[in-house]
Amino acid sequence: MNRYQAMFERLDAADQGAFVPFVTLGDPNPKQSLEVIEALVAGGADALELGFPFSDPVADGPTIQKAAIRALAAGTKISDCFAMLTEIRDRHADIPIGLLVYANLVASAGLDNFYQRCAAAGVDSVLIADVPERESAPFIEAAHAHGVAPIFIAPPDASNARLQSIAARSEGYVYLLSRAGVTGTESSMQKPATAVIQALKDANSAPPLLGFGIAQPEHVAAALAAGAAGAISGSAVVNFIANHHQEPERLSEELTRFVRKMKQATNNRAALLQHS
């Protein structure tokens, strides 16, 4: 059983959904980035979604773009990211770790090399934001060769045929978008389409996690009420880093408090579904 399967089984038994925070590795610098991760885990994060800093993050809004700029300005390199991943895995043996990256970072050193490094660092999954599932075969092959789960994005307006394709290719979970566009709390979350979630379930997909615009406990509860297995929050988390990175102790406290509130909203999942 892989870490995602173990997580979802544990959460189902506890009548909970998953809360998954996202941050960019190296933001605001490699040392402090590890402290950020510890604060997220202390708050009760069920899994981690982590990005590599990249100069042209086309799927991301200004908040996460600025996180990448901070990380790059601090001198964060790909080798630093893998070193951080290795340390995170050493500290936390069971928590699922997913990467959300861009194709250039994966392909620049060779697909096989990238996924080999992921496996060695204890990464469970990789989502490549700018590779659609129809062009994904070489990435999936390399991922499978090293025991890494490929993850794909399900947009809210996807056709049934496309959702079936996404379901067939995604392992671990499916990243379900609450709305079109780029990441960010600048555009509020839209009510998730229960029909999309049901179509994924009918296609025997991996559990869907809802992302984009998840900034409040009410958003998490709405995701679960629509049938999602949990929620991913990125920009809301990264905003704490932007606002408090010069106060490390306060930053850790604020992040832990935020994650704890968001995680609490995943309780009583069955009741949320019944009242949706």
Q: Which residues participate in catalysis according to the annotation?
A: 49, 60
Q: Coil, strand or helix: which one is 169?
A: helix
Separation between Cα atoms, residue 276 and residue 264, nearest integer Å: 18
Separation between Cα atoms, residue 66 and residue 264, nearest integer Å: 29
Separation between Cα atoms, residue 206 and residue 171, nearest integer Å: 6
Where do runs of H (alpha helix) occur along 122-266? 137-145, 160-169, 194-202, 217-225, 235-244, 248-264
Residues 140, 111: contact at Cβ < 8 Å?
A: no
Which strands sit side by side in the sheet containing 18-24, from one edge to the other?
149-151, 125-128, 97-101, 48-51, 18-24, 230-233, 208-211, 174-177, 153-154
Tokens matching residue 35:
């402290």
Separation between Cα atoms, residue 19 and residue 49, nearest integer Å: 10
